[in-house]
Amino acid sequence: MTEPDQKFEEEIRRALCAASDLIVPAGDGLNKIRERTSRRPAALAWLLAYAINLPRQLARGGRMAASEVAATAHGYSSVGLVLASARRWPGRARHALRTPSIWVRPALATATALVLVLGVMLSIPRVRNQLSAQLASALGTSSNPGPGGEPSGAGAGGAQSSSATPWATGTATNIAGKPFLATMPPSSTQCRSQGSGGTATAHHSSETGYIPPAVGQGPSQTVGAGTNGGVAHLVGSAPLDVAAPGGMGPAPVSVTCSPSTAPAKPATSPPVTQLATTPVTSPTTTPTTTTSPTTTPTTTPTTTPTTTTSPTTTPTTTPTTTPPTQTNTSSTNNTASPDTPAASAAPTG
């Protein structure tokens, strides 16, 4: 550093010190500071101090535990000393209980943490519903209709799922040569078609297996989703897909009734093998399922509508009547997607 620089620095230093000498702070600074520090609520300061120290104490405890474990592993544990001191615990406990400052703070901190956790949990509707359902079931009340509630389904056919049983009990089989064949017990799911106009009903009750007719009009209907979240699709007298979207709603059911007039074509979609395993359905799968005519050509003209859609026809009998050409598939889960229909039949005959 050159000499002019040093001179300049000295000049700046002198000027700054001379300017600062003019500043005389007021004498009541300490009183103001004390007043402000004592203004804070004592309880808050108390809890804050504890909360600040808590992680440090936890870390210290962890270190002590680790060192104790290491000492135990090396054979010179201090467990004996601990046990010796443990004999004096009753007296210490009495002393601690008589001294609230020892236990009130942790107790309050624990209670506050519990209240916070409970508040956060109860503020989430899903968790709250689950808790209430579990409480209701624990108390022996089975009147919880589920978040879906009553299905609507008036007029246009309905999709109804019972929330008592999460999903239907139908079984799906994959037979060689037949891409997909669902065999449903008579009481699980039925698909019914009435008339030529497509009056159809899709009703699923996993408890009773009863499928009452609903009034559906027109060749293509999107059956209204009930308040349980179920959605039924009905395309004429052809594919009927009933599925309940996921969430906490009840059983997703996929029912497909193939039309009897469609030409036979090889199945274009791979067989769905993951059936009755995943009850959760995304709502996007149901509205568009099997609504296009291109997805229905899996049936042959030989299939009569009565075999597929009569109320007395069960899914187990339907494949046997028209094994090679027609398939009435009932699926109890929602793996059917718009791109991969749940039911497809290959003309094996």
Partner 1 sequence: MHVIETLVVSETALGSVPAQWDEARAVTSLYGEHYGTLVRLAALLVRDVATAEEVVQDSFVAMHTSWRKLRDTEKALSYLRQSVVNRSRSVLRHRVVVDRNAPMPPPLVPSAEQGAITELERSAVVSALRRLPPRQREALVLRYYGDLSEAQIASAMGISRGAVKSHTARGMSSLRTVLQLEF
Residues that bind partner 1 (CB under 8 A): 5, 8-9, 11-26, 29-30, 32-34, 36-37, 40, 49, 52-53
Nearest residue (CB) to partner 1, 26 versus 83: 26
The tokens 């609230």 sit on which residue?
100
The residue type found at 85 is: S
Q: CB of 110: closest distance to partner 1 in angstroms?
A: 20
Both structure tokens of 311 = 């109320």
136 with 144: CB under 8 angstroms? yes
Q: Which is nearer to partner 1, 45 or 131 (CB)?
A: 45
State how far the Cα of 116 lies from the Cα of 122, in Å rounded to an integer.
10
| Cβ distance to partner 1 smaller for residue 108 or 215 | 108
**Could you tell me which residues are beta bridge partners of residue 183?**
171
Q: Which two tokens stand for residue 135?
A: 């409480």
CB of 146 vs partner 1, minimal distance in Å:
50
Nearer to partner 1, 7 or 95 (CB): 7
Task: Give the nearer residue to partner 1 in terms of CB position, either 29 or 90.
Answer: 29
Give the shortest CB-54-to-partner 1 separation in angstroms. Answer: 11
Question: What residues pair up with 223 in beta bridges, in sequence order?
Answer: 232
Shortest distance in whole angstroms from residue 96 CB to partner 1: 22
CB of 12 to partner 1, least distance (A): 5
347/303 Cα distance (integer angstroms): 12
Integer-rounded Cα radius of gyration of the chain: 37
Report d(CA 278, CA 76) in Å as an integer: 55
Amino acid type, 322: T
Find the shortest distance in angstroms from Cβ 26 to partner 1. Answer: 6
Task: Report the SS3 class of residue 236.
Answer: coil
Query: Would you say 38 or 143 has its CB closer to partner 1?
Result: 38
Cα(320)–Cα(169) distance, integer angstroms? 20
